[in-house]
Chain A
Amino acid sequence: AQSVSQHNHHVILSEAASLELGCNYSYGGTVNLFWYVQYPGQHLQLLLKYFSGDPLVKGIKGFEAEFIKSKFSFNLRKPSVQWSDTAEYFCAVNERYGNKLVFGAGTILRVKS
């Protein structure tokens, strides 16, 4: 079965620090890749997605992610975090013609002001 690994469960950063959250998946075929974010008390919402084309995708709020097929990775980055980025971040993968998303365990990011 497909699995998704997120490398860190908790990350604490100061404002203006750079962020990189790791995500690796196990499926060897063609996949769609997603990062979702859940701000405190809010719905899970889509941050960015990759289906095909340019492996560097840009999402909302200055986030970007890079798909590296050879490493089965889809790491999330932001050059300078803000206090408002405090949230839980989930990486998710589905097979190209499948309905189901497989989620990682999540990374809780706390940004200190």
Chain B
Amino acid sequence: DVKVTQSSRYLVKRTGEKVFLECVQDMDHENMFWYRQDPGLGLRLIYFSYDVKMKEKGDIPEGYSVSREKKERFSLILESASTNQTSMYLCASGGLAGGPSSYNEQFFGPGTRLTVL
């Protein structure tokens, strides 16, 4: 079974704090993704990475950055947390080397519910 794990299920931070969300996958997937999930808005892509040290902006990258130093690990960073970043954050991975990456579904972690006070 594919496993995508996220460092915390629940996190409470204060405005202005730097926040790190970590994600690890164990299936040697090439691609990793960070989404935020808000009621009535579905999942919106923040950033994704298709290789180590490579990243691309998604639809809502403002206020976020990412880091992928190892293939299995993808971190989301909130440089200075704000209350409008209170949300559920989902990490996903998918795509195997040598295969048509778009054919592979994404596998999701359990999510981190972040509250910024």
Interface residues of A (CB under 8 A from B): 1, 4, 6, 9, 32, 34, 36, 42-46, 49, 51, 90, 92, 94-106
Q: How many residues of B contact A (CB 8 A)?
A: 29
Question: Across the interface, do B102 and A97 meet the contact criterion of CB distance under 8 Å?
Answer: yes
Contact partner of B42 among A46, A100, A103, CB < 8 A?
Answer: A103
Q: Given the complex of chains A and B, what is the CA–CA distance between A6 and B59 in angstroms?
A: 19
Given contacts A99-B48, A100-B58, A101-B45, contact A9 B102 (CB under 8 A): no
From the candidates B42, B100, B109, name the one contacting A105 in the complex (CB within 8 A). Answer: B42
Chain A residues closer than 8 Å to B41, beta-carbon distance: 105
Contact at B42–A32, with CB atoms within 8 Å?
no
A106 contacts B42, C-beta separation under 8 Å: yes
- Chain B residues lying within 8 Å of A100, measured Cβ to Cβ, are 33, 45, 48, 58
Q: Is B108's CB within 8 Å of the partner chain A? A: yes
Name B95's contact: one of A4, A99, A103 (CB within 8 Å).
Answer: A99
Given contacts A43-B110, A100-B45, A100-B58, contact A95 B40 (CB under 8 A): no
Assess the B110–A101 pair: CB atoms within 8 A.
no
Q: What's the least CB distance linking B71 to chain A, in Å? A: 15
Which residue of A has the minimal Cβ distance to B106? A101
Within 8 A of A (CB), among B21-66: 31, 33, 35, 40-45, 48, 50, 56, 58-59
Complex interface residues of chain B between 64 and 82 (CB less than 8 A to chain A): none
- Per-position 1/0 for B92-105, Cβ under 8 A of A: 10010000111101
